[in-house]
Amino acid sequence: MKIAIICAGGPEADVLDLKAFAEEDVMYVGADRGAVHLLNSGIIPDAAIGDFDSVTDAEYDQILESVSYIEKADSEKDQTDTELAVLHALSFKPDRVILTGVTGGRLDHTEAALHLMHRLQEEHKHIKFMVCNQTNEISILRAGVHRITRDERYPFISFFSFVGPVKKLTLTGFKYETVDATLEIGTTKFTSNETASEVCTISFREGICLMVRSSDS
C-alpha cells in the first residue's frame, strides 16, 4: 500500500506518531512549517511546499539543505499550503493520504482541512483520505456499506452528518446499534459509540458521514 503523509504546521505535539509507518511505502510532504516537524522527527521530506511564512530564516535554511524538492508558493494564493502539498502528493498515486498537523492549533486550519478532505474524497473515490493526530482518526464515508475493524488504540467512535442528512443509517456490531436511522446535521446522538465486535458495519443509503475514532489518552 502506498501512503502519502502530509504534515502541516500545527502544534508539533499534536502531529501523528510517524514511526508506525517505517515499514510502509510512504511519501512524506511537509506543508510550510510541517517540513520542520518532519525534520525534527528524523524524517527527510520527499517534498516541502508552501510560502514558508511560519518558519524562521534558520529553519528555512535547514529545509533548503535537507529537502531535494522545494516548491515555494506566493503568500497571496487561493489554496492553503496544505492543499498544495496534497495536490503534489497525489502525483505519487497513493492508496491512502493522511493529513496531520492540521489540528490542535488554529480552528480555521482544521476546518479547511476537513473540507479539503471531503472534496478530495469525492474527486478521488479510490483513495482513502484521513486526518490524524496523536489521539484521533477522522475520515469521510460515502453512501454504502463500510466494515470497521476494532482498534484498541481508538476505543471510541462517533458519526456526524457532514453536508446533509445521512439516511437509512444502520450500525451493527457496535455497543449502541441502530437500524434505518436518520443522522441529521447538528445532532450529537451518534457520539462516543464503541465497537462491540471485532468487525462492525456501518451502512447508509444517502449522505456524507464524518467518522471520528478517538482515544482519551
Instruction: Write out pLDDT tens, residues 19-73.
Output: 777 667 899 999 999 999 999 999 999 999 999 988 999 999 999 999 999 999 8
What is the rounded average pLDDT for all residues in the chain?
91
Q: What is the structure's pLDDT at 160?
A: 95
204 pLDDT above the threshold of 70: yes
How large a percentage of the chain has pLDDT more than 90?
A: 71
Q: What is the structure's pLDDT at 156?
A: 95
For the record, the C-alpha cell of 48 comes out as 516541502
Answer yes or no: same fold for 2-134 and 138-214: yes
163 pLDDT above the threshold of 90: no
For the record, the C-alpha cell of 208 comes out as 456524507
List, for residues 104-119, the tens digit of each pLDDT value: 878 888 888 899 999 9
75 pLDDT above the threshold of 80: no
**Domains of the chain by residue range:** 2-134, 138-214
Averaged pLDDT for residues 162-168? 91
Q: What is the structure's pLDDT at 217?
A: 62
Q: Under the phi-then-psi rule, with left for phi > 0, alpha for psi from -120 to 50, and beta for the rest, what region is 32?
A: left
92 pLDDT above the threshold of 70: yes
Look-up of cell digits 506566493: 74
**pTM confidence score:** 0.89
**Overall CATH class of domain 138-214:** alpha beta
d(CA 62, CA 39): 9
The topology (CATH level 3) of 2-134 is: Rossmann fold (3.40.50)
